[in-house]
Each structure stands twice: as structure tokens, then as C-alpha cells.
Structure 1
């Protein structure tokens, strides 16, 4: 027994027999605590408990307790496995320390996963080479030389393909754009839906355009989604030089502010360049909304310009202004308004036909109307604006009127919008007053309509648990 302790192997046996179970119990408790906190350190600790410590104990038993010769095959095999597990443990720990808790926007967060995997592979190969050289006395110099020559040959043969991959990796590392951003590469404009090693996939709205990474890395492009914040949908618009600029600017702003895609609390910008040229910038949430906003804006602007007699693109004529159409509209409305020939002549001399595009606001909330619109063709949706949303409660159709609060000189509590293409007979307040005085039945019909709209509004609010006071909480 004294000889066993003198040789030292007995101490190793005792240390392994006692220390190995105790160490496993302690690390198991630590691992459980880390997993309960969802800590990324649980991964390296699991490798340490499940693999490194058991194999390390086996190696210590063979090499130190049993004092097996170092050149014995089983000792070398266990030493190789133990060294490989140590390499994996160190790499796992470094990965957790460097990248698991990286903050957003930091260089550690921006490094693509493929870079980390390649670096890990290189370190594993180098570590194994050193391990085999130390344990098995292997000559790895020739292996590295052969790998180097092979890499050069493969690189020269695949330089075009590899160049695209490298360009993709550089783009992934730099991250000048991300999924969902809108790019303008000069020839392609759209939203990024995929980025891989070889190419970027861009949704142009009419298909998916594949742009090679080498093309993007070697040319300039515009990330329309940066910087973060409102995006301006811009349009260049031309009127004639006879149109007063202040009236045109007011028209451009009024139409833009009514767009549903315009960002609230953001101002519309209009610049006058002279010679009838104007530039409009409408704030929208993203480039994806720009084309839709401009489509609606330009169509609404066509109708609004002709209603105001301004020459958009050099033309202010509107076929709806033909006298024959006005006569036909008055004849169609005569039964609804109880008109005689004298009343019809009054309307011919004082009223006019106007058109609105789908979705245009005919009468806004809080406006005291100075005219009344009788619907000739189409329909109008009547809604209440409550806390940033609209509650539709009525629809006005042919023969109905919009702006009946003009008779009571009260501001409108509802917003009226064109449900589609809309044609109205616009009558000044003075003419309506004259018709009402001459036609008591018309006054009664308007009064009944006003009472019905109020009842419908109150019912729509009550259905949502609101009262009329909610209209002031916009």
C-alpha cells in the first residue's frame, strides 16, 4: 500500500472516485440554474458536464491512475477525443461571450452567421492539426501545403462564382439594407424580400427581380427606407401660367391632406418652380405606399382642378359643364325637389354640375356649408369621425342632398365621401333659401332628412357605447 501511494497512482484513483461525482453534481446544479434563467451559458456548461468531464476523467484514469504508456493506442485515442472536446468547449464559450449578448446595431450583431461558422471550422481544423501533431506525432505541414495549393486552384477555377459569394457575404456583414427595405438600384426599384449569398430578390410590384450581389456591391444604389421616418411621395405637376400660383398651391395642399395614406400630423410640401411647374411631396409611411398614394392623389386632383376651373396639364375643360347635361340633371331632380319651370330656370342660372372621384371628401367635419349638393348620379357615404376612426351610419343616393346643415348655419358633424364616381348639382345657399321659401314641402323634406341623419348618428354611436360628446374627442 505504501508503494502504491509512493508511486502516486493511488492518489489519482481516490481523486477520480471522489472528485468526479462531486464535480458532476455541482455542475448539474449550475446547469439547472442556468436553464431556468434561459442563459446562453447553459450550452457550454452542458458540453462540460456531459462530455468534457467524463472523457477527462477517463483520460486521467488511463494516463495517471493506471499509468498506461503514453504511446499506447487507447491512451492516444482518449487524449485525442478529450482534446477535441476541449476545442469545442472553448469555441462554444467564446461564441456565447462574444455574440449571444450582442446589442442591436453593434458589429458583433451584424456579423453574418456564415462568417462565424467559417471561423469556427478553421479553428477546429487548426486545433485538430495541432492535436494530432502533439498526440500522434503526425507531420501536418504537408497537409497544410496541399490544402493551400488546392484552395488556390479551386479559387482560380471558381473566381466568378466565389466573387459573387464574397460580395454577398460582404453585403450581409455591412447590412446597407434589410428585408423589407425598398431599394432603387437605377434599373430596379422595389422591396427586398430575400437576401442570400448570391443575389438579392426584389419585389417590383410586377414580379420578382433577381439582382446579383456582385452588381450591388460594385454600383451605387438608394435605400429608400433609410433614414427611418416618413417617406415623401413626390410628383411634378404642371398648370398653365394663367392660373394664380396661390390658388394652385392651396388646391395641391387641400387634395393631398385628404388622402387616407398621408401620415397624420405631417405637413404636405409644395414648391413652385415658375412657368406653371409645381413639385408636391406627400408624407407616407413607406415607399410601398408612395405609388398608391400618388395614383389616388393625381386622380383626385383631376376632378378638384376642374371643379375650381384650374388648368391641370394645360386643360381645364370638363364635359360635365355642357349646358345640355345641366338641363338633364335639373329635369331628373325636379320630382325630388318639387320644382316648377320658374324654379328650374333659377337653378340653370345659379347652379352647376360637379364631379368627384371615388373616396373624395364632398363635405368635411366641422364645416359650415355655403352650398348644397344634390346627388345626380352615384352615392355618398356619411360617417362620423371618432377618436381617429370613422363610423359609417348612412348612405345618400340620387335625389338626396349633402350639406343640409347649410340651412341651419350649423357646422357639419359628419364627413361625406364619394362612394364611387359621383356627379352632384351644386346649388348656392341663396338659391336654396329661395327654393325653400317658395316650396314649403321642400323645407319639410330637408327638415325630415336632418332629423333622420341625427337619429342615425345617435344610433350608430350608441351601438358602440358612445354618445354625441365623443365627436369632440377626435
Structure 2
């Protein structure tokens, strides 16, 4: 018989040529995907190392060696090949549809339970094909037996199954997604995982596991919907003798400086509820900022209320005593402004000692200050604000430094100032300082030089140049 007339000859030649070429192509493709950090590199490696060689071996046995497909060894190899194809389909589907999905897309936020359902369906279909075509199993009878068994198990576990089904219906409705914030009767936090049995909610005290059936039968609030509409309400209480308008203005002013505010949203608002109670509402970027907002707002209100002469929780503030004022004038202001004893005594009745909390804004840029502030304790950071609203640090001021020097020239502040810790300052209004400073030409020259220096630093920072 002529060898060229044999069917196995062409299969053998095709496998001998195709297998090396296929290995080379898959190797080059795998290297390209690895360099690009592609999620498909693992699937190409599976095809190169296992699927292609095993497929070539099956073709050699069945087509070239004429081994019957019903042979036991061939069936085992074909079953392994089918399982590898099933693994390739599962991992490829996950890599192409979900792992490579954008962070905010529906594919990335799809609950894990739906992925499990899709995997089980694909595995079931694959096993049915393998059992039917390779081993000749009558799959219809198997499914019938499974159906009868499922009915029996369902009757035995109807309560548990009912809970699972109610949870599945809730998940199909999708009242929340991964990373949404929920407020349930038992937990408040961010959804981090959804599986067959429960929803995992990350709270401030740990991970709360809430059964799906519980969420399906109770009401809860999705704080993340509609997007960008979250707001936080903070309650405070003042003495009933404090003027409500002054309290509302102070609370709103403090809330307007919170760093967690959502850009472009409505400004904070404060309402008086009566009997000294007030509520301040702020619009936030995310429900995750609730704790940080409260932790920042309440300490700031404590300091701001005392500076404004208001009585938070009915408390009186007696911090600015005559002794503290005199100590600050004698140890800080006197040496800086070269004050005589008579001048210090003249300023003592017009000065007061106040405090600022950590991260609180002590000086706003672009505003004409009403007076000067001298640092008695603590430290401040001078800042400049660029055209896009970002804040650039300039330098740090310590005890003995002062702010509001442009009050004497009636110019806006070139820089802002933020407290790095609790800061104690002595404040003196402009009209009382003018009588003392205007008679000191050398001091005026030094103050003018300081104003020019801070102007220069602020302008360089706004232009993006490095500030020494």
C-alpha cells in the first residue's frame, strides 16, 4: 500500500508540524500578555502547557495510530481534555468579563453569588456533555433522579430553602451593590461581599455577617443611593441664653471649613430646634466620612464656641484671665514689638488669649484681618491656595511668631494658617496696636519686610516654584 494513500500519514505530518508551530505561537503570545500584565496570560499558559500537547496526543492515538475512540485509555485522556477545556472556559470568562472590568462598572460591582451561579451552570453543562458523549451515560435519567431528590430535600429543609430563595430574590432585585453603604437594624457600614448565605458589612467595630433572609424581610437604608446625595446631621446643645442667630452662624462657619465636604454641593446649614438644641447638616463625599466629620467638627466647635463667647453644653470659659494675658504680653508680644512697661499695660485691657484646635484654620487667605495674633504655645503652618483650590504648605511658625501683620496696612492676608496642634494665641485689635507701632520706625520696616517675604512665598507657591 502506498504510504501517501494512508489517512494516518497526513494526520501524523500535520501533528508533527502543527504542534511545534502552535507551541511557538502560544509562547510568544504568553510573553506579550505577561509584559502587558494581562489577565489572560494564565489561560494562554494553560493552553500551551497542557491543552495543546494533550490534544496532539489524542489525535496521534485516534487518527494516526487508529486506536478506537471507545478504548478505556482514550476515554480517560478525552475526559481529562474535556475538564481542561472546562477550566479554560471558566477562568477565561472570569478574566475577560470581570477581572478586566473598570472599577466602577456593573461587572466589577456584581455580587459574587451571581458569579457562583454562572460557574455552577457552566460546570453542570460541561459535565453533562462529558458524561454523555465520552462515557455514554444517559444524562436525562440522572437529571430526573436529581429532580426527585431535590424535591425530597426541599420538603425536609423548606424553612432554610425559603430563606435562601428570599435572599436570592432580594439579590436579583439588587437594592445595593458592592461598596454601597447600608444602615440596617443591626449594622451600619460598607458592603464588601455578597454570597449565597449572607451579606458581609464592614463596620467600625468589625465585619458584620447579616443573613440574606434577614435583609429580605426587614427594611434598611442604602446610604449610597442616589449617588452624591449623602449628608450628615450633627446635634449640639448650647445654653438657652446664647443668641440663636450667633450660634447658628458659628456652627455653619465651622462646618464650612471641614475637609470632607463634597465639592459643588450646597453649603452647610444649621437650624435651632429650641431649648438650646441645634442641628448642623453637611453634604459629604461618601458615608465613609461620617465618623471623620464628627471627630473633626465637635472639637472645632468646642474651641470656636469659647472664642465666640458662647456656652457649648452650658459651660463657661474662663481661659483668658488677666494673668494669662499679662504673661503673654510680657513673654511673647513685648519682645517681638519692643514694648515698654507702659505700652504693655495699655494693651493688657484690649488683649485676650484664645485657643484653636488641631487642623483648625487660624487665618484665611485673601481677607483683611481685624488684628494681630501672637503665638503663645503650639505651632502653625502657613499655606497658600492655588487657582484650582489646592493648598500648598509654605513654612511653620512657632512660639513668638505672629499672624495678621497686614492688619496694620489694611491689606488682605497673602497666606492662610492652619493649626498643627492645639495652639494658644494672644489677639489684639488693629486700632489698639496702631498707637504703639506707628511710633517705632524700625519695627515698621521689619514688619513691611515680613509682609513682602510672605507675599513672595505665596506667589512662588501658586506659580509652582519651590519655596525654601
TM-score normalised over the length of structure 1: 0.73
The answer to which of 253-262 and 145-154 deviates more is 145-154
**Aligned pairs (5 A) from 1:68-467:** 75=71, 77-79=73-75, 81-82=77-78, 85=81, 89=85, 92=88, 96=92, 100-101=96-97, 105=105, 110=110, 112-131=114-133, 134=136, 143-144=142-143, 146-152=145-151, 177=176, 180-229=179-228, 231-237=230-236, 247-263=246-262, 266-270=265-269, 272=271, 275=274, 279-310=279-310, 312=312, 315=314, 317-320=316-319, 325-330=321-326, 332-334=328-330, 336-337=333-334, 338-340=339-341, 344=345, 347-348=348-349, 350-375=350-375, 377-385=376-384, 387=386, 388-397=390-399, 400-436=401-437, 440=440, 444=442, 448=446, 451=449
Residue equivalent to 1:49: 52
The answer to which of 202-211 and 150-159 deviates more is 150-159
Question: Whose radius of gyration is greater, 1 or 2?
Answer: 1
The answer to which of 328-337 and 121-130 deviates more is 328-337
**Are the equivalent residues in 2 in contact too, given 1:237–1:278 (CA < 8 A)?**
yes
Deviations 1:188-231, CA, capped at 9 Å, x for gaps: 11234555544444343233333233323443433434455474
Tell me: CA distance 1:169–1:12, structure 2 relative to 1, closer, same or farther (3 Å).
farther
Tell me: CA distance 1:153–1:407, structure 2 relative to 1, closer, same or farther (3 Å).
same
Tell me: CA distance 1:383–1:152, structure 2 relative to 1, closer, same or farther (3 Å).
same
**Are the equivalent residues in 1 in contact too, given 2:368–2:411 (CA < 8 A)?**
yes
Whole-angstrom distance in 2 between the partners of 1:303 and 1:294: 15
Shift of 1:381: 1.0
Whole-angstrom distance in 2 between the partners of 1:42 and 1:471: 51
Aligned residue-pair number: 442
Whole-angstrom distance in 2 between the partners of 1:81 and 1:43: 20
Residue equivalent to 1:464: none
Whole-angstrom distance in 2 between the partners of 1:13 and 1:178: 57
Shift of 1:115: 2.2
Unmatched runs of 5 consecutive residues or more in structure 2: none
**Are the equivalent residues in 1 in contact too, given 2:381–2:417 (CA < 8 A)?**
yes
Quote the RMSD (CA, aligned, Å). Answer: 4.5
Shift of 1:54: 3.0
Deviations 1:356-398, CA, capped at 9 Å, x for gaps: 32332222222222222344x523414132542342523232x
Deviations 1:44-90, CA, capped at 9 Å, x for gaps: 8656632234314422356xx57x6x8xxx63552564376357547
Tell me: CA distance 1:429–1:116, structure 2 relative to 1, closer, same or farther (3 Å).
same
Unmatched runs of 5 consecutive residues or more in structure 1: 462-466
**Are the equivalent residues in 1 in contact too, given 2:325–2:426 (CA < 8 A)?**
yes
**Are the equivalent residues in 2 in contact too, given 1:404–1:446 (CA < 8 A)?**
no
Deviations 1:96-123, CA, capped at 9 Å, x for gaps: 5797246654569837442233123312
Residue equivalent to 2:61: 58
Whole-angstrom distance in 2 between the partners of 1:381 and 1:17: 82
**Are the equivalent residues in 2 in contact too, given 1:394–1:456 (CA < 8 A)?**
no
TM-score normalised over the length of structure 2: 0.73
